[in-house]
Chain A
Amino acid sequence: MKPREIAALLRMEVLLDLRQKHAWGGMLLYVVSAVYVCFLAVKGGLGTATWNALFWIILLFAAFNALARSFQREDTGRQLYLYTLADPRSVVLARTLYNAATMTVLSLLSLLFFALFVGSEAMEQADLPQFLGAVVLGGIGFATVLTLISAIAARAGNGLGLMAILGFPIVLPMLIAVMRASKLALDGVAFSVNGKYFLGLALLDLITVLLAWMLFPYLWRD
């Protein structure tokens, strides 16, 4: 663990991303288009369960789309240069942190668009802090799982297609837990009942990061 190295790498990530504004534009456009398709398809009047399911489906595919490029923007030459300078474990931690931040922003923005277009009646009875917590925790969960998968897919030289195949079964458990947590939050269930889902999600996130930290160095050994 080298906090300074991680901080420097994180700064580099942000700078690189700021230089590629079209990538963020692409992600947002994807979310808005998906939400708009939903709006056209359902024309309002959704039950809480369907609303919740639609939102998570959109967020899931947005996450795949956003994180697929996580390890693909670098060409091999720059990768090699970067990884002779830095510890691979710092690289994966910085990348996971950055992706988690990206997904937090993206999931909140998706929620905003979704509530604007598809309607927010489903949220009327919701325990709002709890629901937002579930959304953010879900976004972070997707980010932690898909960071390593994105790295594997990038190394295999096969982009989004392989990433979807590899990532889907691993994301599924997280999706089931987070959908249930957010559904309960939408129904206004007390945190004392719903809290175990948050605990379970946080545990999953933690173990995922730990696994990525342990396995990532093997990925770069050539």
Chain B
Amino acid sequence: MKHWWWKILAVVLVLAASITALKVPLKPALVHVSPDRIAPGPVTLEITGYNTAFKDGERVFLMNDGQYVCPSGVEVVNDHFLRARFEVPAGLKANLTDVYAGRVHMNGALFTEGLGKGIVAPQGCGPGPKFIDLFDFAFPNRNILYETIRNLNFHVPMWFTMMVLFGISVVASIRALGSNDLRHDMAADLSARTGLVFCTLGLITGSIWARATWGAWWTNDVKLNGAAVSALIYLAYLVLRGSVPEPGKRARLAAIYNVFAFVLLILFIWILPRLNAVDSLHPGNGGNPAFSNYDLDSTLRVVFYPAVLGWIGIGVWMYTLRLRLARLQHHLDDANHP
């Protein structure tokens, strides 16, 4: 039983994290305001919310830079859709960019034409009292991400697991170089192969997420380049292994390549994002806010770290299964050809 605890832990962590990642609701937010260009005069805005509960008498207003514009009428159609009529005054000093509806708002929703010196004081609307929910366990609802923020707990752990498995492979390679023991070579080979399984999963899931969020299956991005390089390195590693028939020589050459490539890969992943200030769409790179900067990030963290730990456990488990099978095979070979 004592060898089982971490496998059970991994399964429980992955299960708990996956269920939570799928069940936790998204915070309410405004997702769409139409039209997005307004001019002085009457205008009717159609405001779409997500996970909102609009009700009659909802406090709706446009705002920017201390200016408020209040609606002349609000028609709540359902929980997540309302129409608001505005009489936009001429001579605003700045764009009315932000739309507020009840407890949610959307920044940068509007572009206003016909600017001037500024208008008079607010006409009886404006921000209400701030709501503080004590038990608000919800994921951040980010523009363009929406529900896909849940993917953070499925896609990103694949990369963590891959790096851990490649790390195991490199450690085994170093030990193979130091000892000339073919068992370490076998471990390096199999952990690299298992790492490639997670690399493939990370690439496919990342591609799907990128298509839904950024509109392209693949983008020129430091993170994606890093992923491509690690995939190519370990595919090349397997090609190298395949092209050397003699086991001792194969072990040595593969180990040298593994160590050399892995150190350069780590340097690449570490240095290049620091050089490129612009080339990324990922959070935390290229001037984008990291997920940790998002509001109420603690909810994300509570699910994310268990997911990462759990998936690393699953990955290592898969690797040990393959290693044990290969060892059995080895013994069988020895028994057949003594």
Contact between A156 and B244 (Cβ–Cβ < 8 Å)? yes
Interface assignment of B225: CB less than 8 Å from any CB of chain A: yes
B225 proximity list for chain A (CB < 8 A):
172-173, 176
Interface assignment of A101: CB less than 8 Å from any CB of chain B: no
Interface assignment of B309: CB less than 8 Å from any CB of chain A: no
A200→B244 CA distance, assembly (Å)? 34
B236 proximity list for chain A (CB < 8 A):
165-166, 168-169
Contact between B243 and A158 (Cβ–Cβ < 8 Å)? yes
Contact between A173 and B240 (Cβ–Cβ < 8 Å)? no
A196→B243 CA distance, assembly (Å)? 39
A to B CB contacts below 8 Å, 6 in the list: A145-B264, A166-B240, A173-B271, A196-B275, A207-B263, A219-B253
B259 proximity list for chain A (CB < 8 A):
211, 215
* Minimum CB–CB distance for B132 against chain A, Å: 44
The secondary structure that dominates the B interface is helix
Contact between A203 and B271 (Cβ–Cβ < 8 Å)? yes
A145→B275 CA distance, assembly (Å)? 20
A221→B265 CA distance, assembly (Å)? 26
Contact between B177 and A197 (Cβ–Cβ < 8 Å)? no
Kindly supply a per-residue 1/0 record for chain B positions 252-295, scoring 1 wherever the CB is within 8 Å of any chain A CB and 0 otherwise: 11011101110111011001101110000000000000000000
Interface assignment of A97: CB less than 8 Å from any CB of chain B: no
Contact between A148 and B240 (Cβ–Cβ < 8 Å)? no
B232 proximity list for chain A (CB < 8 A):
168-169, 172
Contact between A204 and B252 (Cβ–Cβ < 8 Å)? no
Closest to A158 in B: B243
B residues with a Cβ closer than 8 A to A are 177, 225, 228-229, 232-233, 236, 239-240, 243-244, 249, 252-253, 255-257, 259-261, 263-265, 267-268, 271-272, 274-276
**How many A residues face the partner with a CB closer than 8 A?**
33
A149→B239 CA distance, assembly (Å)? 14
Contact between A177 and B249 (Cβ–Cβ < 8 Å)? no
B253 proximity list for chain A (CB < 8 A):
152, 155-156, 219
* Minimum CB–CB distance for A207 against chain B, Å: 6
A177→B229 CA distance, assembly (Å)? 14
Contact between B257 and A152 (Cβ–Cβ < 8 Å)? yes
A49→B267 CA distance, assembly (Å)? 26
Q: Please name 20 further chain A to chain B contacts, defined as beta carbons within 8 Å, in addition to the given A200-B272, A211-B259, sorted by A numbering.
A: A152-B240, A152-B253, A155-B253, A157-B244, A162-B239, A162-B240, A166-B236, A170-B261, A172-B228, A172-B229, A172-B232, A173-B265, A177-B271, A196-B275, A203-B267, A204-B271, A207-B263, A212-B260, A218-B177, A219-B253
Interface assignment of A102: CB less than 8 Å from any CB of chain B: no
Given A172-B225, A173-B272, A177-B275, A156:B256 Cβ within 8 A: no
Closest to A215 in B: B256
Closest to B269 in A: A173
Contact between A211 and B272 (Cβ–Cβ < 8 Å)? no
A165 proximity list for chain B (CB < 8 A):
236, 239-240
Interface assignment of A72: CB less than 8 Å from any CB of chain B: no
Interface assignment of A208: CB less than 8 Å from any CB of chain B: yes
Partner of B264, one of A158, A168, A208: A208
Contact between A169 and B233 (Cβ–Cβ < 8 Å)? yes
Interface assignment of A180: CB less than 8 Å from any CB of chain B: yes
A222 proximity list for chain B (CB < 8 A):
249
A145→B261 CA distance, assembly (Å)? 10
Contact between A173 and B264 (Cβ–Cβ < 8 Å)? yes
Contact between B239 and A155 (Cβ–Cβ < 8 Å)? no
Closest to A181 in B: B275
A196→B277 CA distance, assembly (Å)? 12
**Which residue among A156, A168, A204 has the maximum number of chain B CB atoms within 10 Å of its CB?**
A156
Closest to B232 in A: A169
Contact between B267 and A169 (Cβ–Cβ < 8 Å)? no
A184→B6 CA distance, assembly (Å)? 50
Given A156-B243, A197-B275, A200-B275, A173:B256 Cβ within 8 A: no
Given A162-B239, A176-B272, A170:B233 Cβ within 8 A: yes
